[in-house]
Amino acid sequence: MIEGARWRRWVFFYMPMALFLVFLLFPFYWMIITSFRPDSELYRPWNSINYNPFWTTKPTLEHVRYLFEETLFSNWLWNTTFIALASTLISLVCGVFAGYALSRLNFPFAGSLGTGIFVTYLVPQTLLFIPLAEMIRNYKLGDTPWSLILTYPTFLIPFCTWLMMGYFKAIPKELEECARIDGASRWKAMLYIIIPVAIPGILSAGIFAFTLSWNEFIYALVFLSSPEQKTVPVGVTSELIRGDVFFWGPLMAGALLGSIPVAVAYSFFVEHYVSGLTGSVKG
Amino acid sequence: MGQVVLRNVNKFYDSVHAVKDVNLQIRDKEFVVFVGPSGCGKTTTLRMIAGLEVISSGDISIDGQVVNNLPPMDRDIAMVFQNYALYPHMSVYDNMAFGLKMRKFNRREIAKRVEEAADILDIGNYLRRKPRQLSGGQRQRVALGRAIVRHPRVFLFDEPLSNLDAKLRVQMRVELKKLHQRLGTTAVYVTHDQVEAMTLGDRVVVMRDGVVQQVGEPLELYNSPANRFVAGFIGSPAMNFATVTMMDGDGRLTAKNAGLDLEVPQIHAERLRGHAGRQVTLGIRPENLHVASESDPAGFTFPSKVEVVEQLGSEILLDVRVGTDTMVAAVDPAIRARVQDQIRLAINPARLHFFDTDTEMAI
């Protein structure tokens, strides 16, 4: 904490923090307030008498209703959930095993293989979608959820692998050695000892992977074309921006509803998540 | 049964020769302690017995069966690690039961054995707790319990007491000794603490740079160390060494240097006569020095100057200068000695050690 006079604490701690919070949270506030304002308020000219951009006097659920009744928003929500969960699951399984192998098994080229996996994560998606689109077309997966479930792991697996590698390295190797002396095979030692101890790491990798695939935009935009197949980020932007007309109310309502599941996931696992990032294992 | 035999065991890490040609027979029910400074290869040797390190060459056999290629789980051993290695997500009970579950014991037998071990170690009250809710000493007991429930042929201990505070360490040392007397299981124990080695071991193996220096009972190591390293490592405070020249004058052998002019007692004279005219290393333990009195023959005393006085209560440690050497003498606490005092010290003539200055081997 800041030492000394009270004003120092205000100047060097509370005020910078308040500024920071306003800067961070204002877009969310804007999103929320826009979602509940009637069109009559949203499109009122700035020089009218009762112009008030930061507050609403007549909150309405009209935009939410519009989303669910006039668009395929519920489809998009379901698609996003299914795709995000499936690709997260695939990536976690691969990432946990790969991370374990790279950090614990001494095989030739383990180090360079680890670096190689990391490098694939650095290839920008904006380049990778071109060859991937070709493959999706050849396997006739275009416009199905599988086009995303199978392509998201291209960036999720390297990510999970690296996170898990770091976590497994932090677990004392004596735990595993002890289990092996106790009568467990390498496989059982991993299953009964190492993976349960690594749960916080696995959870944080899972949450990250889920968020990344939930928010993903480019692949979803390229690989999905029919409205009922789309995910929330793509559906909202492509169906609610028509030409140069922005349907601000439903757009913001869609963004709000789309960010709630991620927020819930984060707050639910926040404790595990933090301990996963700081990598603390106490014997 | 639990007889462990090491035959010409070697370990290489790339180009580093960590363990060199170790030969050792550990008898059934014996408590053998490996001791040496860090990096001497003692832990590596233990890990090879456990099956956690591959043996580069040589054989290790347990009860006559060569176990070189046997995985740790099939060697019927139990190991206690320095950091305890308790499974953090399991209760104390499950920690102890894990090895039995893996070996498919039935539930009733597991409960019986865990309770038995908990009884022996006095941890019955913590069985439902998680390791992080236990103190260091309690964790140590759980780690021991996990080893003894299995009734293995051999216990392996890798510096199990070094994470405990000094008082607890002494207490656990006694308990380990009692435990071994009670169970009678063969034990191999690694430590860098010579006091643990002396107090626990039926036999002690002193290692340095991957080479076994001496194997013997604790008192054997103390009384007749095989070389200068063992002499300096065993005993506290450490043995004093001084380089002296052996002089043979009219049948009397004397050891001389800048500060010493000692008559070599008759019992040592015979084997040292061959070294007359050459330099040897003289070793005197601090406890074999005392402040000279009238009754000490002049040939067994030498002058010294006190540099530091360390009061321990039961004795006084005097750091003294003798010629160009410094020595430590453990003397009677009644002695009133002050820094800068000139005092005469006397040796215990039966308790002198001589080492070849070049080979460092005992003469």
Q: In this structure, is residue A112 part of a structural domain?
A: yes
The answer, for B105 touching chain A at a CB cutoff of 8 Å, is: no
The answer, for B98 touching chain A at a CB cutoff of 8 Å, is: yes
Partner-chain contact B79 A177, CB within 8 Å: yes
Enter the ipTM.
0.82
Please compute the mean of the pLDDT values over residues A244-252 and round it to a whole number: 89
Of A180, A184, A282, the CB nearest to B88: A282
Domain of residue A142, residue span: 64-278
Q: From chain B, pick out residues whose CB is under 8 angstroms from the CB of A282.
A: 88, 132
Q: From chain A, pick out residues whose CB is under 8 angstroms from the CB of B103.
A: 183
pLDDT value for A274: 62
pLDDT value for A277: 54
The vertex-A183 CA angle with A178 and A185, nearest 5°, equals 90
CB atoms inside a 10 Å sphere around CB A220: 26
Q: Are A76 and A56 part of one and the same domain?
A: no
Question: Distance from CA of residue B169 to its chain's centroid?
Answer: 15
Confidence of residue A280 (pLDDT cuts 50, 70, 90): very low
Helical H segments across B103-165, by residue range: 107-121, 136-148
Q: In this structure, is residue A190 part of a structural domain?
A: yes
Partner-chain contact A182 B98, CB within 8 Å: yes
- For residues A125 and A218, the answer to whether their CB atoms sit within 8 Å is yes
| Average pLDDT score, chain A | 88
Q: Are A88 and A45 part of one and the same domain?
A: no
Q: How far is B131 from chain A (nearest CA, A)?
A: 7
Could you tell me the CATH number of the domain that includes residue A143? 1.10.3720.10
CB atoms inside a 10 Å sphere around CB A201: 28
pLDDT value for A272: 65
User: Which residues of A fall below an 8 Å CB-CB distance to B?
Assistant: 172, 174-175, 177-185, 188, 192-193, 196-197, 199, 281-283
Q: In this structure, is residue A108 part of a structural domain?
A: yes
Q: How far is B55 from chain A (nearest CA, A)?
A: 16
Q: Are A264 and A149 part of one and the same domain?
A: yes
- What gap in Å lies between CA B318 and CA B306, rounded to an integer? 7
Q: From chain B, pick out residues whose CB is under 8 angstroms from the CB of A183.
A: 73, 99, 102-103
Local mean pLDDT, 10-residue blocks, chain B (363 residues): 90 90 93 92 93 92 92 92 90 93 93 92 90 89 91 92 88 90 92 92 94 94 93 92 87 84 85 86 93 88 92 92 91 89 90 90 89
Q: Are A54 and A179 part of one and the same domain?
A: no
Residue A211 has pLDDT above 50, yes or no: yes
Of B50, B83, B103, the CB nearest to A172: B83
pLDDT value for A282: 44
Q: Are A129 and A24 part of one and the same domain?
A: no
pLDDT value for A1: 58
Q: In this structure, is residue A1 part of a structural domain?
A: no
Q: Are A83 and A209 part of one and the same domain?
A: yes
Q: In this structure, is residue A283 part of a structural domain?
A: no
Last residue in a domain, options A60, A81, A106: A60
Last residue in a domain, options A14, A44, A60: A60
- For residues B197 and B237, the answer to whether their CB atoms sit within 8 Å is no
Confidence of residue A243 (pLDDT cuts 50, 70, 90): confident
Q: How far is B73 from chain A (nearest CA, A)?
A: 4
Partner-chain contact B146 A185, CB within 8 Å: no
- For residue A14, give the DSSP letter: I
Partner-chain contact A181 B72, CB within 8 Å: yes
pLDDT value for A283: 39
Helical H segments across B127-256, by residue range: 136-148, 166-183, 194-200, 218-223, 228-233
Q: From chain A, pick out residues whose CB is under 8 angstroms from the CB of B72.
A: 177, 180-181
- What gap in Å lies between CA B154 and CA B79, rounded to an integer? 9
Sorted by where each starts, the structural domains of chain B and their CATH numbers stand as 4-233 (3.40.50.300), 240-291+299-356 (2.40.50.140)
Mutate to test the interface with B, among A176, A182, A197 (most CBs of B within 10 A): A182
- What gap in Å lies between CA B62 and CA B75, rounded to an integer? 8
User: By three-state DSSP, how is residue B24 classified?
Assistant: strand
- For residues B219 and B206, the answer to whether their CB atoms sit within 8 Å is no
Partner-chain contact B52 A180, CB within 8 Å: yes
Nearest to B49 by CA among B64, B70, B20: B70
Q: Are A149 and A242 part of one and the same domain?
A: yes
pLDDT digits (tens, 9 = 90+) for A183-195: 898 899 999 999 9
Partner-chain contact A183 B73, CB within 8 Å: yes
Q: From chain B, pick out residues whose CB is under 8 angstroms from the CB of A281.
A: 88
Of B73, B82, B139, the CB nearest to A181: B73
Q: In this structure, is residue A113 part of a structural domain?
A: yes
pLDDT value for A281: 47
Domain count of the fold of chain A: 2
Q: Are A247 and A268 part of one and the same domain?
A: yes
Partner-chain contact B73 A185, CB within 8 Å: yes
Last residue in a domain, options A26, A41, A60: A60
Q: Are A143 and A248 part of one and the same domain?
A: yes
Residue A168 has pLDDT above 60, yes or no: yes
Q: In this structure, is residue A17 part of a structural domain?
A: yes
pLDDT value for A217: 92
Q: Are A218 and A248 part of one and the same domain?
A: yes
Q: Are A117 and A205 part of one and the same domain?
A: yes
pLDDT value for B15: 86
CB atoms inside a 10 Å sphere around CB A26: 11
Please compute the mean of the pLDDT values over residues A82-103 and round it to a whole number: 95
Please compute the mean of the pLDDT values over residues A30-37 and round it to a whole number: 91
pLDDT digits (tens, 9 = 90+) for A134-145: 999 999 998 999
Q: Are A131 and A230 part of one and the same domain?
A: yes
- For residues A154 and A120, the answer to whether their CB atoms sit within 8 Å is yes
Q: Which residues pair with B62 in a beta bridge?
A: B4, B65
